[in-house]
Chains A and B, each alone.
Chain A
Amino acid sequence: MTIDSATMRHLSEAQVSVELETEDMTLNIGPQHPSTHGVLRLVAKIDGERAYDVQPVIGYMHRGYEKICEVRSYPQITTIVNRIDWVSGYANEIPFIVAAEKLMEVEVPPRAQYIRLVLTEMARISSHLVFMASYPLELGAATPLFFALRERERVLELLESVTGGRFHPNFNRIGGVKPAAGAGPTQKKTTQDLPSDFLSETMDAMEHMFKICDELEDLVAGNEIILARTRGVGKVPVEVAAAYGLSGPNLRASGAAFDLRKIEHYLPYDDFEFDVVTGTNGDCWDRWYCRLQEIRESAKIIQQAIDGIPSGDLQAKVPKMIKVPKGETYVRAENPKGEMGYYLVSDGNLGPYRLKIRSASFSNLSILPWALEGVLVPDIIAIMGSLDFVLGDVDR
């Protein structure tokens, strides 16, 4: 049997069309992919170069803190909340302590408030520096990692000199802050103020931080590959961001000038001048840039706070046995990752009746199915990394 040329062409075209037909593939990313900052699994349907229907699978780090808090006393809970977002453990304590103080109607001495503020901002700088280190690395630029982590180490050492802990300081007490670590065996005083050279060293470190921010900006903003991979990628309009509960730098990158430090008066931020950094496009680049600028703003706040730190007590008078009176309140704070809040329900006992923990990364991550719909496969990593989440903060 002979085949004429027309049939031949028809057959070959049929063959070609069969070969070009794409097939959906299910791609598993994680749960131990280095870009997931913990253990996160993504199940994505891949059609050619693009990803559809991306479903994050979380819960590998779920520790049931909300349940455990029901059997712990208030002073014990600060150790637990340290571990929610371990990159900025200190900042997690603040809204919880403030919530308990609000129900107890305790007035915290100004010096303790300033110390809290300085340490919170240092936690923010160290958290943002981790992002400065890891995000370019995920995009293939390894150099900023060394610059950022070196400076973070300096900040963590200062934090450790006061609190005694690098990651989990457990430094706040209801009514104030703990006497600082490092008193030494020769000192018999029961209360110890800040280490003697802490303030001057922090001042120097913050001065140096501005230089580091310039260096990081040169390194990353001058990198054409990073610009190409982040500009216009992963755009989140502000109304979508709000509906998903995105907060912190992720919300501000979309253009909302919304910073809880300016709104809620949980720490004396009103005493200082600083700008709320916003982006315009809400893309990955803006989210990176907002965080870099926030390091500069935090350094400015710390310098002003050290200049004006009042003297006085570290602790208000509180009973030895902390019992929080009956009541309900929600206290939220601007954490490095976004809005962190605690809905505290107290029945007048040693521990809370219910403690709802609102963590920033949980809501920030929940936008992933929306943000990753139809993006190119390499952009999954770029978008995911730009949201700056920590799985301990997601799973609680």
Chain B
Amino acid sequence: MSSSPSETEAAVETEPQAHPLQEYADEVAGAVGGTAEVQFDTIKVSVSNDSWVDAHLTARDRFGLVFFSWLSAIDWSNQVEVGDPLSDEVEERLELLSALGDITEGRMVTLSTDLDPETPVIPSLVEVYAGANWHEREAHEMFGIDFLGHPNLAHLYLPDGFLGHPLRKSFPLLTREVKPWPGKVDVEAMPEKPSKDEPSTENPES
């Protein structure tokens, strides 16, 4: 990858090999009042809760990011019921992400904001992007995030009356509670090397 930004206006001179997307990311971050980070070709712009909707309006109207790709959240938690725990202690939060793109050059920006995991509330984006409707319903039932001003925050996938928010890290995977993952331990001897000490119980005739 050739990443020599020859035409940069020397906005960031801290690193000699700035990512080719860094300039654009900083431009977006400056306009929406957030901080930009480029990781593995993915631009993430973190904004505050208050400027969540305004940031989307700016991204849509000034930067032409008219394509609403997706919205979801990450539960950064130190108490993990399912999967591997984080290696380092983190500040517990729900990170709300929304991915926007344009439909001409292929630019893409992920906007991010941190929510309080106890009472996550944020204004809805439905007025800005109509496509946010279903994505917010999904995030509501999966993470318990309340989207203020959403027209119909009903369950999308889960049955009515379902308790809990399945994609939270505190939500156990119920099948694993009942039956441990069968692939975790090989309880049988491998077929090539039958152990001589114990007689095979599976096929007594042979």
- The segment from A25-33, A289-297, A348-356 found at the interface with B is A348-356
Among B44, B69, B72, which residue has its beta carbon within 8 angstroms of that of A245?
B69
- The segment from A146-154, A184-192, A257-265 found at the interface with B is A257-265
- Decide yes or no: A354 and B74 within 8 Å by CB, A243-B66, A258-B104, A330-B108 being known contacts: yes
A329 touches B39 (CB 8 A): yes
Chain A, interface size category, equals: 35 or more
A243 touches B157 (CB 8 A): no
B70 touches A245 (CB 8 A): yes
- The segment from A163-171, A308-316, A339-347, A377-385 found at the interface with B is A339-347
CA distance A103 to B42 in the complex (A): 11
B40 touches A71 (CB 8 A): no
A59 touches B173 (CB 8 A): no
- CB neighbours (8 Å) of A59 from chain B are 155-159
Shortest distance from the beta carbon of B88 to any chain A beta carbon, whole Å: 8
B68 at the interface (CB under 8 A from A): yes
- CB neighbours (8 Å) of B117 from chain A are none
CA distance A48 to B86 in the complex (A): 58
Shortest distance from the beta carbon of B161 to any chain A beta carbon, whole Å: 13
B116 at the interface (CB under 8 A from A): no
A366 at the interface (CB under 8 A from B): yes
**Chain B interface main SS type:** loop
B120 at the interface (CB under 8 A from A): no
A67 touches B42 (CB 8 A): no
Q: Which residue of chain B lies nearest to A369 when distances are taken between CB atoms in the complex? A: B133
B134 touches A348 (CB 8 A): no
B84 at the interface (CB under 8 A from A): yes
CA distance A260 to B40 in the complex (A): 17
Q: Which of B60-107 contact A (CB under 8 A)?
A: 66-70, 72, 74-75, 82-84, 86-87, 97, 99, 103-106
CA distance A58 to B110 in the complex (A): 27
Among B40, B131, B156, which residue has its beta carbon within 8 angstroms of that of A327?
B40
- The segment from A10-18, A173-181, A234-242 found at the interface with B is A234-242
A328 at the interface (CB under 8 A from B): yes
Q: Which residue of chain B lies nearest to A255 when distances are taken between CB atoms in the complex? A: B103
CA distance A59 to B160 in the complex (A): 11
A356 touches B70 (CB 8 A): yes
CA distance A354 to B75 in the complex (A): 8
A298 at the interface (CB under 8 A from B): no
A277 at the interface (CB under 8 A from B): no
B39 touches A328 (CB 8 A): yes
Shortest distance from the beta carbon of B84 to any chain A beta carbon, whole Å: 4
- CB neighbours (8 Å) of A41 from chain B are none
A208 at the interface (CB under 8 A from B): no
CA distance A268 to B155 in the complex (A): 41
- CB neighbours (8 Å) of A350 from chain B are 84
A366 touches B69 (CB 8 A): no
A-B CB contact pairs (8 Å), 12 listed: A68-B173, A71-B83, A242-B66, A242-B68, A243-B68, A244-B68, A330-B99, A341-B70, A347-B87, A356-B70, A356-B97, A358-B99
Using a CB–CB cutoff of 8 Å, the interface residues on chain B facing chain A are: 39-42, 44, 66-70, 72, 74-75, 82-84, 86-87, 97, 99, 103-106, 108, 110, 129-131, 133-134, 142, 155-159, 166-167, 171, 173, 176, 181
